């Protein structure tokens, strides 16, 4: 069975042009065998794949073998527009030499000193193991550490999911800084991310989600920004420039009953105040203005809240300090 699955994966990969083969591992978990695919960024792209990858027997219809370029906005797979295809070619053409894969390299070409310098500069947890682990072990461990991430899912009624997610953000993401301001007796206070802005962005995503599709609202927390992703994006009548400036009055909620209930439990304010509140809270905190991303078909919406510059400067200074050790 496992051999058949791997063979099928290779058959599908052979339909990609240029040819792309992911790393395949068989892992055992709680008595079950899992097929683990690691799809690292290739350096021979951009890649094309046919519209239909299944056979006529599998799909029950004639195959469309037309080769297309595809992109992944959030959790969707959509055909790339002409401008997006141009960006893909520019991206691969601009890939630095050091980022390109060399399939002919071997362990004999690796220099342990360079790897040790990188581990120290990145403040990796492997620092204490430099003197006791082999070069190959260090390379594998560094790769695993770099790809590690934490995924947390919230369950229950919608209002509870939102409250639990906000509690998680408040206790694990939000940080406050107090600084002395010259000429003022009162200290200045600001946050890496203003909580009220994140709260409003999340509630806004939940209110405008399409609940006929089984695609969750996502919150992605990075070192220097927080992204909130929902499906679909804004209605087509909405001008995105006016939207980003908080000057658009939505004609309706997608989910009016949820909106009314959220107002009853103080999770939402009156209609059409969400974006203007986000802008207001970010400005009050001295944070950069948010970014709103969608596609031509408005299939998704990504709201990006960037970290306060003082926290970003600390991250950069820390990295610089480590590189000088």
- Is residue 304 domain-shared with residue 179, that is, in the same domain? yes
Q: Which tokens sit at 280?
A: 């207001």
- The number of folded domains in the chain is 3
- Is residue 111 domain-shared with residue 207, that is, in the same domain? no
Domain end call among 148, 175, 205 = 148
- Is residue 194 domain-shared with residue 299, that is, in the same domain? yes
Phi, psi angles (nearest 5°) of residue 304: -110, 120
- Is residue 231 domain-shared with residue 260, that is, in the same domain? yes
Residue 122 sits in which domain range? 105-148
Residues near 214 by Cβ (< 8 Å), separated by ≥ 6?
none
User: Is residue 282 packed enough to be buried (19+ CB in 10 Å), middle (13-18) or exposed (0-12)?
Assistant: buried
- Is residue 207 domain-shared with residue 120, that is, in the same domain? no
* CATH code where residue 279 lies: 3.30.565.60
- Is residue 162 domain-shared with residue 311, that is, in the same domain? yes
CB of 303 closer than 8 Å to CB of 227: yes
- Is residue 204 domain-shared with residue 58, that is, in the same domain? no
- Is residue 287 domain-shared with residue 307, that is, in the same domain? yes
322 found inside a domain = no
- Give 109's DSSP letter: G
Phi, psi angles (nearest 5°) of residue 216: -75, 160
Domain end call among 92, 115, 148 = 148
- Is residue 133 domain-shared with residue 275, that is, in the same domain? no
- Is residue 130 domain-shared with residue 56, that is, in the same domain? no
323 found inside a domain = no
d(CA 225, CA 234): 22
Residues near 162 by Cβ (< 8 Å), separated by ≥ 6?
202, 203, 206, 262, 267
Residuewise pLDDT in 10s, the chain (325 residues): 777 787 787 778 778 887 777 777 777 777 788 888 777 766 677 888 888 877 666 556 677 888 888 887 767 788 888 888 888 787 766 655 555 556 566 777 777 777 778 777 776 666 777 777 777 776 665 555 554 456 788 888 889 999 999 999 998 899 988 877 666 667 778 899 999 999 999 999 998 888 887 788 999 988 889 999 988 888 877 778 877 777 766 556 688 888 888 888 888 765 556 788 899 999 999 999 999 988 888 888 899 999 998 887 665 554 444 444 3
CB of 285 closer than 8 Å to CB of 305: no
- Is residue 76 domain-shared with residue 130, that is, in the same domain? no
Domain end call among 65, 80, 102 = 102
Q: Is the pTM of this model over 0.95?
A: no
321 found inside a domain = no
- Is residue 129 domain-shared with residue 229, that is, in the same domain? no
320 found inside a domain = no
Q: Where would I find the beta strands (DSSP E) of 1-88?
A: 23-29, 32-38, 48-50, 67-71, 78-79
Residues near 99 by Cβ (< 8 Å), separated by ≥ 6?
43
């Amino acid at each position: 069975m496992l051999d058949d699955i791997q063979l099928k994966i290779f058959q599908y990969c052979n339909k990609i042009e240029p040819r792309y083969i992911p790393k395949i591992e068989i892992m055992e978990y709680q008595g079950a065998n899992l097929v683990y695919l690691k799809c690292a960024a290739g350096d021979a792209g951009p890649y094309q794949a046919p519209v239909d990858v299944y056979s006529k027997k599998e799909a029950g219809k004639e195959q469309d073998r037309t080769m297309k370029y595809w992109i992944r906005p959030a959790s969707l797979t959509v055909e790339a527009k002409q401008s997006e295809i141009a960006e893909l070619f520019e991206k691969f053409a601009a890939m630095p030499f050091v980022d390109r894969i060399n399939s002919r390299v071997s362990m004999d070409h690796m220099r342990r000193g360079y790897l040790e310098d990188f581990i120290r500069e990145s403040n990796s947890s492997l620092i204490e193991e430099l003197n006791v682990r082999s070069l190959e072990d260090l390379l594998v461990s560094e790769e695993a550490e770099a790809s590690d991430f934490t995924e947390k899912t919230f369950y229950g009624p919608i209002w509870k999911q939102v409250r639990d997610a906000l509690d998680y953000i408040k206790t694990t993401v939000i940080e406050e800084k107090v600084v002395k301001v010259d000429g003022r007796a009162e200290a200045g206070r600001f946050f890496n991310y203003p909580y009220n802005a994140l709260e409003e962005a999340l509630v806004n995503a939940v209110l405008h989600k399409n609940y006929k599709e089984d695609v969750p609202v996502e919150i992605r927390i990075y070192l220097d920004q927080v992204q909130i992703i929902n499906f679909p994006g804004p209605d087509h009548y909405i001008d995105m420039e006016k939207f980003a400036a908080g000057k658009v009055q939505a004609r309706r909620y997608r989910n009016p009953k949820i909106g009314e209930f959220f107002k009853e439990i103080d999770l939402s304010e009156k209609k059409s105040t969400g974006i203007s509140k986000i802008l207001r809270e970010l400005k009050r905190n001295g944070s950069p203005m948010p970014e709103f991303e969608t596609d031509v078909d408005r299939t998704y919406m990504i709201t990006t809240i960037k970290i306060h510059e003082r926290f970003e400067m600390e991250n950069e200074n820390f990295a610089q300090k480590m590189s000088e050790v």
